[in-house]
Amino acid sequence: MAHRLTAVLNCALAYSGTAARSFRHSAFTCTNRMYEPDYLELLKPKYPLYETLNVTIKGYDYPLLESYQKFIHNVADSMDLEIADGYAQPPQKLNVQKFKPNSSIIDSEYKLTVYERTVQVEKVQAPLYPLLLRTLQAALPEGVTLKVTEHTWEQEEARYVPDRDLKELKQQLDEMGGASKKK
| pTM: predicted TM-score of the whole model, two decimal places | 0.62
Write the CB contacts of 108 (distance below 8 Å, at least 6 apart in sequence): 97, 98
Secondary structure class of 50 (helix, strand, coil) = strand
Phi/psi-derived region of residue 100, left when phi > 0, alpha when psi is between -120 and 50, beta in every other case:
beta
User: What are the extents of the domains in the chain?
Assistant: 2-42, 49-161
pLDDT greater than 60 at residue 43: yes
pLDDT digit string (tens) for 55-77? 999 999 999 999 999 999 999 99
pLDDT digit string (tens) for 126-177? 999 999 999 999 999 999 999 999 988 777 777 776 677 778 888 888 888 8
- The correct answer on CATH 3.20.20.110 for the domain covering 49-161 is no
Distance (Å) of CA 99 to CA 102, 105, 113: 8, 6, 20
Query: CA-CA distance, 85 to 12, in Å (whole number)?
Result: 55
The residue ranking higher by pLDDT, 19 or 65, is 65
pLDDT of residue 11: 52
> Confidence band (pLDDT; 50, 70, 90) for 98?
very high
